[in-house]
Amino acid sequence: MSSQAVIDMVAVAAAAAESKGGEDLVALDVSQPLPLVDAFLLVSGNSERNVAAIADAVEESMLEAGHKRLRREGRTESRWVLLDFGDLVVHVFHEQERVYYGLERLWKDCPIIPIEATVVTSTPGDVVS
């Protein structure tokens, strides 16, 4: 099973993705079949612009938490953006690409890492964007 450090990385990335409207978040422990990566986080966005915003937010939050991005692919088209943070690889998909590539099916035998639900709270008078 993934270490607490990896679980914490997943939590940071998931919170950032959710803050930009990321949907259908699934974290998979891929440490057994893949020797170099411990976890995948799969996220869907509803447009190219949304996918790009989610990817940017994840990258920024991970950097603030001390996790440097090693590689990024797909930012130009923003249909499937891959962010590699070493132990964690974040896949931000446009909804159609996620269905087409079906990573959940490919990795269905891998354990799911629970993602703590983040609760957005506001008080009267707050501006919600």
User: What's the pLDDT tens digit per position in 99-121?
Assistant: 999 999 999 999 999 997 543 43
Output 13 or 77, whichever has higher pLDDT.
Answer: 13
Share of the chain above pLDDT 70, in %: 88
Give the per-residue pLDDT at 105: 93
Give the per-residue pLDDT at 2: 67
pLDDT band at 1; cut points 50, 70, 90? low
CB count within 10 Å of CB 107 equals 18
pLDDT surpassing 70 at residue 127: no
Give the per-residue pLDDT at 75: 84
pLDDT surpassing 60 at residue 83: yes
pLDDT surpassing 60 at residue 49: yes
State if pTM tops 0.75: yes
Share of the chain above pLDDT 90, in %: 81
Q: Are 53 and 77 in contact (CB under 8 A)?
A: no
